[in-house]
């Protein structure tokens, strides 16, 4: 398993545990429904999900045409749900402005160019 896969698994487990124990921080917007988040994650797939998580939360990396297509085809609501589910945890609240900036940038570049080189 490569580092990106391990990161994705760790982030997913963290999200599920925090929601299970209801430790999510209080924000104006509640965390998305876990079933919706899981459905969106399944549509994006592991490989593209890892790439997108890396871009949004860790470092800006290239995103393939295939992954951008999956992102746009699954819609803005899915993109928002996936990011917001992690931002809603206490682990990421101190990074929210940068994370949301990267989240918006990922969507815009995929929508505009179809990939991020």
What digits encode the pLDDT tens for the residues 88-114? Answer: 876 766 778 888 999 999 999 999 988
CB 73 within 8 A of CB 24: no
Chain segment 35-84, per-residue pLDDT in tens: 999 999 999 999 999 999 899 988 888 999 999 999 999 999 999 999 98
Say how far apart CA 14 and CA 33 lie, in whole Å: 15
Number of domains present in the structure of the chain:
1
d(CA 76, CA 31): 16
* CA–CA distance, 15 with 10 (Å, rounded to integer): 9
Asked if residue 26 lies in contact with residue 88, where contact means CB atoms within 8 angstroms, the answer is: no
- Burial pattern 35-46, b for ≥16 Cβ within 10 A else e, equals eebeebbebbee
Nearest to 105 by CA among 83, 85, 88, 89: 83
pLDDT for 26 beyond 70: no
Give residue 18's domain range.
3-113
Those residues with Cβ within 8 angstroms of residue 103's Cβ, 6 or more apart along the chain or in another chain: 56, 79, 80, 83
């Amino acid at each position: 398993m490569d580092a990106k896969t391990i990161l994705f698994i760790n982030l997913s487990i963290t999200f599920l545990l925090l929601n299970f124990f209801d430790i999510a921080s209080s924000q104006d917007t509640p965390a998305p429904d876990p079933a919706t988040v899981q459905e969106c994650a399944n549509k994006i797939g592991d490989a593209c999900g890892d790439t997108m998580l890396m871009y949004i939360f860790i470092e800006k990396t290239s995103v393939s045409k295939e992954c951008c297509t999956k992102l746009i085809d699954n819609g803005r609501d899915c993109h928002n749900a996936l990011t917001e589910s992690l931002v809603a945890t206490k682990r990421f609240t101190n990074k929210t402005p940068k994370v949301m900036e990267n989240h918006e940038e990922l969507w815009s570049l995929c929508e505009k160019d179809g990939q991020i080189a």
